[in-house]
């Protein structure tokens, strides 16, 4: 699962940098890297499905016609009588993905806590694990309100080993990348969810993730672990 999520981050980053590139050779480089990431993302997904380590989202009935929204109440997710319209497929996909990635993040933080030696780093990962659990809980509640079973993918297995597979510096950078994915996903979710309660939920999650990431950046800086990007020396 961790490899699959890293490839998801890679695909997003390479696509972003492709749109920021102007040299022909650099554009070609990002095109090739994107293709490579897509290939391995497919391998990881197929492997996890074959091993029953990744659950598939709920099936939906295919629409037979195109409908247009005419009622302004479509955007209302809050009501004093508790009425909320059912989730649409776009909103469900965003919520499902958020739970799936947070399950993996929760297990990953648990493994990092178990193997990290630095107490400040260990405490930081503990906060991250709690953040993932809170988001899983809130999003699962929203899905259950719509009679949808939340994803139950294992997301990985944490062994009893206390031998760190990565340095603490690399663990912190992995965490930094995952926070970036979460912030980007939250922005996408807020932009494409039409129910106002889901938009508010994404805003709250985004605020918490942003603050958590900034605290991680400060921690990496204090330990000399954050590489400085090249200066704009024109």
Fold of 78-226: Ferritin (1.20.1260)
Which pLDDT does position 22 carry in this prediction?
A: 95
Exposed, middle or buried, 17 (CB in 10 Å: 0-12/13-18/19+)? middle
Locate 116 and state its tokens. Answer: 């990290």
Q: Which of 29-38, 110-119, 147-156 has the lowest mean pLDDT?
A: 147-156
User: What are the domain boundaries of the chain?
Assistant: 1-54, 78-226
- The pLDDT value given to residue 84: 77
Residue 101 has pLDDT above 80, yes or no: yes
pLDDT at 181: 86
* Two tokens, residue 36: 């490579």
Q: What percent of the chain has pLDDT over 90?
A: 50
Residue 45 confidence class, pLDDT cut points 50, 70, 90: very high
Least confidently predicted of 45-59, 153-167, 183-197: 153-167
């Amino acid at each position: 699962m961790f490899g699959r999520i890293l490839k998801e981050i890679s695909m997003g980053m390479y696509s972003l940098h492709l749109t920021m590139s102007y040299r022909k050779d650099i554009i070609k480089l990002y095109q090739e890297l994107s293709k490579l990431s897509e290939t391995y993302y497919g391998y990881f997904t197929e492997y996890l499905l074959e091993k029953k380590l990744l659950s598939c989202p709920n099936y939906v009935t295919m629409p037979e016609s195109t409908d247009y929204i005419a009622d302004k109440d479509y955007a209302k997710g809050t009501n004093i009588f508790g009425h909320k319209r059912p989730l649409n497929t776009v909103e469900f996909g965003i919520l499902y993905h958020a739970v799936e990635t947070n399950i993996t993040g929760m297990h990953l933080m648990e493994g990092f806590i178990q193997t990290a030696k630095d107490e400040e780093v260990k405490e930081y990962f503990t906060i991250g694990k709690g953040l993932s659990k809170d988001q899983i809980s809130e999003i699962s509640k929203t899905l259950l309100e719509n009679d949808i079973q939340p994803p139950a993918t294992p997301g990985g297995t944490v062994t009893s080993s206390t031998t760190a597979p990565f340095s603490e510096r690399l663990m912190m950078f992995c965490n930094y990348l995952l926070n970036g994915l979460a912030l980007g996903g939250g922005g996408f979710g807020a932009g494409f969810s039409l129910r106002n309660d889901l938009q508010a939920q994404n805003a709250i999650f985004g605020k918490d993730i942003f603050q958590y990431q900034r605290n991680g950046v400060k921690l990496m800086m204090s330990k000399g672990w954050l590489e400085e990007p090249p200066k704009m020396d024109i």
